[in-house]
Chain A
Amino acid sequence: MTNLELQKTANEIRKSIVTAVHSAKSGHPGGSLSAADIFTFLYFEEMNVDPANPKMENRDRFVLSKGHTAPGLYSTLAEKGFFPKEDLKTLRHTGSYLQGHPDMKGIPGIDMSSGSLGQGISAAVGMAAAGKLDNKDYRVYTLLGDGELQEGQVWEAAMWAGYRKLDNLVVIVDNNNLQIDGPIDTVCSPYPIDKKFEAFNFHVINIDGNNFDDIRAAFAEARATKGMPTAIIAKTVKGKGVSFMENEAEWHGKGPNDEEYAIAMEDLKKAGEALCQM
């Protein structure tokens, strides 16, 4: 895909995100929107996956360690064809397979259940270790929040991944700078994030995580990196693409009402039209 095609796809995914959390009257739009471009690149460009065969043995794996941004992942999977887009409106509804946090038992394309912060990265490390044990060439990707870095388990996992030189592993940090209680550096600063991962023997790449040139270059560099895992520190805008949600911590974990939903969809419609003019 060209960057323009990726941008258009990401815009459609953003529409799905706000539609899903509006229908759920809850959920996490802020961090789903900030990571939408990364989700898009992973599933439409980077990863070897097949929506018709979600359990394909040698597929690349993805673990959403920041599991609360399930609306972002689900919207991407639906856009890719893993399940019908209409189903996104059942998010968080009683009886729906689209659980509030990723559930690998019931959702096509979900490689690991997640949601309790700090734990997904360990599972991704285990998957990467399994690939090494079996001499398989699949790659493993995991997306973490920047607030999530406050969980000690993240660093247990990073220490082992660096020590074991798991170069089939890519850790992406969605650095939107906001967590529930406010800016991350007013709660418990994880900065400098890049220096920390370097100290844990990762190859570190700093990028603008809402820029497809940067994203494309970073994943290519990760693929070319041998002998150590890669950490991509992606500077992003929380709520990206929806005017009133951008850089607002209050949009971490709530759904828009009808009026707000209309504004959000209008923002994204205009963005989509602008992309079509390009």
Chain B
Amino acid sequence: MSDVKKIATRDSYGNALVELGKEHEDLVVLDADLAGSTKTGVFRKAFPERHLNIGIAEANMVGIAAGLAACGKVPFISSFAMFVAGRAFEQVRNGVGYPHLNVKIGATHAGISVGEDGATHQCLEDMALMRQIPGMVVINPADDVEARAAVKAAYEHVGPVYLRFGRLAVPVYNNPETYHFEIGKGVVIKEGTDVTIFATGLCVKEAMEAEALLAADGISAEIINIHTIKPIDRELVVKSALKTGKVVTVEEHSIIGGLGSAVAEVLSEEAPTKLLRIGVRDVFGESGPALELIHKYELDAEGIQKQVKAFLKNN
């Protein structure tokens, strides 16, 4: 097996902004003293006059972005998910969502894969919060190729977009030559017949590996990447659920309010199906190396395999 290249999606964010910045003069990037961590430092270096460091003041950063957008700029605001979706939730809701301004939120360090910093910095609620805001698009890309495509799509979309990125370097599995990204369209990675696994973010690669483990157990799993949490691909969710009759969701997020909830909402309304939500089960995270935490919280291939098998046995 050849070595798989690993890139953190936060790096993809910074690199994509530099590429977009070359083409689009109206693109500006805002940071709250974390340009080194959100990886927008590369944009600051390339376009210093279009990088605004607001200081450690996320609420103000969101408001400044609203004002910039109202004057024709396309601001990408960057911070940790905890501080932009969490701390500045109301500013995003009232200052960006309500007036439907063309502000893009690049939220890095989402989920428990933040690692050693621990619970205060591991945002497990951001997709639930952002999904609540009318008109907000919520995207959680799985690898470098998808993340860069998502940043480009976010720029082209007129209206607010929440982009969720991770700190941890994750395997690049999509082919940049052939990969096509469309907001709101799920990606069928592997067809199967016994169970559908809808995964998002870094859990997509884990679900792909779980599929191989499950196959060895004689279970045929359909693997679907839901990169857009809102608007969710209702058609694909229903179609696959009707086909397999068993649904599992996997996300590096609380099981309350994220992908699992979004899928549950669609299925309850359109195709009631037995559902298992894999994610962080209503607890705060903790300190530890990212990969160890992903294993401990059973979000890796092995954890997914174990939980899917138990789910299928009991249902």
Contact = CB atoms under 8 A, between A and B. Distances in A.
Interface in A76-90: none
A24 interface: no
Contact of B67 (A118, A128, A159): A128
A214 interface: no
A122 B54 CA distance: 11
B70 A160 contact: no
A124 B90 CA distance: 17
Interface in A88-128: 103-105, 111-113, 115-116, 118-128
B99 A127 contact: no
Contact of B95 (A103, A119, A130): A119
A103 B67 CA distance: 14
A156 B59 contact: yes
Given A115-B94, A122-B59, A122-B95, A160 B54 contact: yes
B71 A131 contact: yes
Contact of B63 (A104, A131, A152, A153): A153
A105 B100 contact: yes
A112 B59 contact: no
A119 B91 contact: yes
A129 interface: yes
Given A129-B52, A133-B50, A122 B71 contact: no
Interface string B22-47: 00000010000000000000000000
A101 to B, nearest CB: 9
A104 B65 CA distance: 16
Q: Name which of B50, B67, B71 has the most chain A CB atoms within 10 A of its CB.
A: B67
Contacts of A120: 63
B70 A127 contact: yes
Contact of B64 (A111, A113, A160): A160
Given A129-B52, A130-B71, A130-B72, A156 B57 contact: yes
Nearest to B63: A122
B28 A119 contact: no
Contacts of A152: 59
Contacts of B65: 126
B68 interface: yes
B177 interface: no
Contacts of A119: 59, 63, 91, 94-95
A134 to B, nearest CB: 8
A125 B66 CA distance: 10
A133 B52 CA distance: 10
A215 interface: no
A126 B68 contact: yes
Interface in A154-203: 156-157, 159-160, 163
Contact of A123 (B28, B52, B67, B73): B67
B64 to A, nearest CB: 4
Q: Name which of B49, B50, B69 has the most chain A CB atoms within 10 A of its CB.
A: B69
Contacts of A124: 67
A35 to B, nearest CB: 21
B163 to A, nearest CB: 20
A119 B90 CA distance: 10
Nearest to A136: B71
Q: Name which of B57, B60, B70, B90 has the most chain A CB atoms within 10 A of its CB.
A: B60
B68 A127 contact: yes
Interface in B58-111: 59-60, 62-73, 75, 90-91, 94-95, 98-100
A116 B70 contact: no
A153 B100 contact: no
B90 A116 contact: yes
Nearest to B66: A123
Given A105-B99, A153-B60, A126 B67 contact: yes
B55 interface: yes
A150 to B, nearest CB: 14
Contacts of A123: 63-64, 66-67, 70, 95
Given A104-B99, A123-B95, A159-B55, A112 B70 contact: yes
7 contacts: A119-B59, A124-B67, A126-B63, A126-B69, A127-B71, A153-B91, A157-B60
Given A126-B64, A131-B71, A156-B60, 16 more contacts: A61-B71, A112-B70, A113-B98, A120-B63, A122-B60, A122-B63, A123-B63, A125-B60, A126-B68, A127-B71, A129-B64, A129-B67, A129-B68, A153-B59, A160-B54, A163-B55
Interface of B: 28, 49-50, 52, 54-55, 57, 59-60, 62-73, 75, 90-91, 94-95, 98-100
